Amino acid sequence: MAKSALSFVCQNCGAAYNRWQGKCESCGEWNTLAEEDTTGATSMPVSVRSRRKGRTFALESLAGKSQDAPRLPSGMAELDRVTGGGFVRGSVLLVGGDPGIGKSTLLTQTTSLLARAGHRAVYISGEEAIAQVRLRAERLGLADAPVQLASETSVEDIVSTLSEGSVPRLIVIDSIQTMWTDTVESAPGTVTQVRASAQALIRFAKKSGAAIILVGHVTKDGQIAGPRVVEHMVDAVLSFEGEGSQQFRILRAVKNRFGPTDEIGVFEMTGLGLREVTNPSELFLSERDLGTPGTAVFAGIEGTRPVLVELQALVAATSLGTPRRAVVGWDPSRLSMVLAVLEAHCGVKLSGHDVYLNVAGGLRIHEPAADLAAAAALVSSLTNAPLPTDAVYFGEISLSGVVRPVAQTSARLKEAAKLGFGRAVLPESARGEVGSDAGLTLNAVGGLTTLVAEIAARGLKGNRESATSEKNATPARFRRQEG
């Protein structure tokens, strides 16, 4: 009497249950359980298990020597920056991103560059026919690169093919969702299959020393589809992001066992493939709406690199009972917090206004240091007062309305000075840190109230000049608060 190996597996997180239920108790998602045959994936038969005797192995010391340079530079500096200096031998990397963002393009370019440099590079496409991959390479002007190409989906076939000849330095599997292995019964794309296929490929990478890049699909809420488990299995997870309508693409390390996780690589999608952008600040500021109310330049840090980026805010009167708050490229809860602080401590009434905030260029900001720039843009839009065109802003806002210092002040100031900015609005406590030789005029603010008052004063002045005929053009938006 064989026990049935059928079980219900959550397609979101991979948790297994022996009966169907509506909600996955592990990840909380609804309707994600699907019946899968997990024979072979779970365990070997008891008879085999009990007979196997443990074998002894040698234990190593931490201070051992590795034989040769473990990293292989990809030929693209922006990619190397994100991986931490190139592909590590025997490592497995997962690259996730929306469909059409340019994953296949990026990896075609990398494999071609490596192949041209004389390394064995293999590109396995499970999604596209060979002709399609060739067409792309032709378009990229890389058709002459000696990349080894195949359109295959069986992991066993792939592993035995690649075990022959010299060890490939880089293998691209596009994508892991299309791969399947004989060892499990369920259909390709299910969690069990994806996990088993990834396992087999990772085992091959560790054994042979080849670096493998797995391409992973992303669901509409931005997670790498299905196999969250795969994220735990691989050495690094890179996410390729960008707004569909924008040309900029950002490669970000979400997890990296061999390098930092806060670096970004910036690319531009052109008719000839992805072009590396070495100075992202120029890119994010290139089409600046100079002097329009509601725009502020944020001096940010991405990894080790300073990046200046424009924040755009629109605050518009609304007739809706619940005003809209929409934000692109920044954390919505961070926006709510800044709005609450403005309302509670600075007397800025926003409950009757829709608020929109956008980070220009498709960049996604994770730093709390953007608080001050966001607040400046919001107040500027509300009061219709353009901010000084030569100013950059950075600083974290605390719930009490105090502007708190942030890390790497001098790197931010240096980048701003390099790009021709004349002044920086920054936390009070950061001023002592830089001294007088910053190359910029420093406008230190201790609290958010100071900043709001400064911007409002500009707005009042500007409106008085421009609207002499129109009496009462400036509504009393600001209610001075005592204490």
Binding at 102: pick from Mg ion, ligand TYD, none (beta carbon under 5-8 Å per type)? ligand TYD
Is 386 a binding residue for ligand TYD by CB under 6 A? The answer is no
Contacted by 432, from Mg ion, ligand TYD, none: CB < 5 to 8 Å by type = none
State the binding partner of 141 from Mg ion, ligand TYD, none, CB within 5 to 8 A by kind: none
CB of 129: closest distance to Mg ion in angstroms?
A: 12
| Smallest distance from ligand TYD to CB 329, Å | 20
Segment 104 to 133, residues that bind Mg ion, using CB under 5 A: 104
Residue 105, binding choice from ligand TYD, Mg ion, none, Cβ under 5 to 8 Å by partner class: ligand TYD
Give yes or no for residue 79 binding ligand TYD (CB under 6 A): no
Q: Which stretch binds Mg ion (CB under 5 A): 103-111, 177-185, 198-206, 297-305?
A: 103-111
Angle between helix 332-345 and helix 371-383 axes, rounded to 10 deg: 60
Structure tokens at 337: 């917090």
**Region binding Mg ion by CB under 5 A among candidate stretches 100-108, 160-168, 252-260, 291-299:** 100-108
Handedness of CA 154, 159, 162, 163 (dihedral sign): negative
Of 158 and 215, which CB lies nearer to ligand TYD in the complex structure? 215
Q: Among 75, 242, 259, 273, which residue sits at the site for ligand TYD (rule: CB under 6 A)?
A: 273
Q: How far apart are the first and last CA of the chain?
A: 79
- Binder of ligand TYD out of 130, 187, 272, 473 (CB under 6 A): 272
Structural tokens at position 370:
């953007």
Chosen from ligand TYD, Mg ion, none, partner binding at 273 (C-beta under 5 to 8 Å by type): ligand TYD
Closer of 96 and 388 to ligand TYD (Cβ) = 96
Residue 269 binds ligand TYD (CB under 6 A): yes
Give residues 90-149 in contact with ligand TYD (rule: CB under 6 A): 97, 99-105, 136, 139-140
Task: State which residue, 50 or 270, has the beta carbon closest to ligand TYD.
Answer: 270
Least Å distance between CB 483 and Mg ion?
Answer: 59
Segment 305 to 364, residues that bind ligand TYD, using CB under 6 A: none
Is the Cβ of residue 172 or residue 307 nearer to ligand TYD in the bound state?
Answer: 172
Of the candidates 333, 480, 332, 311, the one whose C-alpha atom is nearest the C-alpha of residue 393 is: 311
- On the CB side of 128, how many CA atoms lie within 13 Å of its CA? 19
- Smallest separation (angstroms) from ligand TYD to the CB of 23: 32
Q: Is 135 left (phi over 0), alpha (psi -120 to 50) or beta?
A: alpha
Shortest spacing between CB 273 and ligand TYD, in angstroms: 4
Q: Tell me, by CB under 5 A, how many residues bind Mg ion.
A: 1
Using the minimum distance from each CB to Mg ion, give the nearer residue, 99 or 446: 99
CB of 135 to Mg ion, least distance (A): 13
d(CA 377, CA 311): 7
Distances in whole angstroms, Cα of residue 242 to Cα of each of 279, 295, 313, 342: 17, 21, 20, 30
**What distances in angstroms separate CA 267 from CA 78, 173, 222, 343, one per listed residue?**
8, 22, 20, 39
269 binds, among ligand TYD, Mg ion, none (CB under 5 to 8 A by kind): ligand TYD
CB of 100 to ligand TYD, least distance (A): 4
Among Mg ion, ligand TYD, none, the one that 199 touches (CB under a kind-dependent 5 to 8 A) is none
Q: Is 210 exposed, middle or buried (0-12, 13-18, 19+ CB in 10 A)?
A: buried
Smallest distance, ligand TYD to C-beta of residue 215, A: 7
Residues in contact with Mg ion by the rule CB under 5 A: 104
Residues in contact with ligand TYD by the rule CB under 6 A: 97, 99-105, 136, 139-140, 269, 271-273
